[in-house]
Amino acid sequence: MKENNGRVLEYGGLRISPPLLLAPMAGLTHSALRRLVQEQGGVGLLSTEMLAAKRLPHENPTLSPYLVRHPSEQPLSFQLLLTSPAEVAAAVASAEELGAAAIDLNLGCPAPDIRRQGGGSRLMEEPQMVRRLVQETRRRTALPLSAKIRLGEELNAERLRAFCLLLEDAGVDLLTVHARLRGEPYGRKPRWEWVGKVKHWLRIPVVANGGIFSAADAAACLAASGADGLMIGRAAAATPWLFRQLAEGWATDFAPGHDELSTAPSQEQKAAIYRRFCELLKESFTPERRLGRLKEFTHYYARNYQFGHHLAAAVQSSPDLDTARRRAEHFLATA
């Protein structure tokens, strides 16, 4: 039988099957979440949180919460936040030394402090700087190279097309498009059809990202975009089993009648998955690093419960991890 019904994405010599990618998310896609998602199955490529290229060469990989990881976390793409070509050589060398399977360039982050430093989505306004950054990265590494963008400042097909072609021409092997403009909030419906435009313009594979929370979303996104792969962000924390469901759904082309709920975990299993995440936090992080990460995860995971806001509030107001766990256990026992 063909692997995942033939669903394979290849870029820069890396085979990703199924073509379901975990999104880079600061504060969320650390070792514990990556392992949780991987244990649930269906994920084709893992990612780090964004890593400041300036700092990466100086981080201690066994102590840095951004770099600690378990050997099972494979393949793992390293997302770099670059602001100058001078940062590239050392950052890429560090990523290679740390066993990166691929490198991704963050060109989409809208956070004001990142933009002020000249990084993230600010770079989409500086195409010539982006060309230099990509060319320099390409020159320094043979690893598969991807970039992640938003749609830009405003809907402008000509400008977006020129920017995407520049990326391809400069040496990017794969492009992920978060289907929103720079200033658009997460509540806004993603513009998946614009990913379709990008796909049409480029020869390299294109991955669609934004607003995929269910098999129905994935099917609609694929229909609208024709993307070669899907990247999942917040839903990885809310429903870490979604990758498995999507892999199963995609294998049957999301045939009508495929009911994602049939493969959703039971309430008991959901409680066990939450406990497992707590265990993974303990394995991965020193005590002072755990509570903040549990709060961030719980913010999303609480959506599984009708009264999940009680779980989120109980964990948010906890002074330490043990209290948070005790309160969470109380909630899970009565949910």
Ligand X SMILES: Cc1cc2nc3c(=O)[nH]c(=O)nc-3n(C[C@H](O)[C@H](O)[C@H](O)COP(=O)(O)O)c2cc1C
CA dihedral sign, ordered 94, 294, 42, 177: negative
Residue 109 is a catalytic residue: yes
Alpha-carbon distances of 242 from 38, 217, 268, 314, rounded to whole Å = 11, 11, 17, 25
Q: Does 50 bind ligand X (CB under 6 A)?
A: yes
State yes or no: residue 121 binds ligand X (CB under 6 A).
no
Binding positions for ligand X, 171-190, rule CB under 6 A: 178
Contact 14, 47 (CB under 8 A): no
Q: Among residues 176 and 284, whose Cβ is nearest to ligand X? A: 176
Q: Please tell me whether 69 is known to bind a ligand.
A: no
210 lines the binding site for ligand X (CB under 6 A): yes
Piece in contact with ligand X (CB under 6 A), picked from 2-10, 196-204, 229-237, 267-275: 229-237
Q: Among 21-29, 198-206, 277-285, 318-326, which window interacts with ligand X (CB under 6 A)?
A: 21-29
Q: Name which of residues 131 to 170 contact ligand X (CB under 6 A).
A: 148
Does 109 engage in binding with ligand X (CB under 6 A)? yes
Chain centre to alpha carbon of residue 96 = 20
- Residues in binding contact with ligand X, number by CB under 6 A: 22
In the complex, the smallest distance separating the C-beta of residue 320 from ligand X, rounded to whole angstroms, is: 23
Taking CB atoms, the residue at the shortest distance from ligand X is: 233
According to DSSP H, which parts of the chain are helical?
31-40, 88-97, 112-116, 127-140, 157-170, 192-201, 215-225, 234-238, 242-251, 267-284, 287-301, 308-316, 321-334
Question: What is the set of active-site residues?
Answer: 109
Annotated binding site for FMN: 24-26, 79, 148, 178, 209-211, 233-234
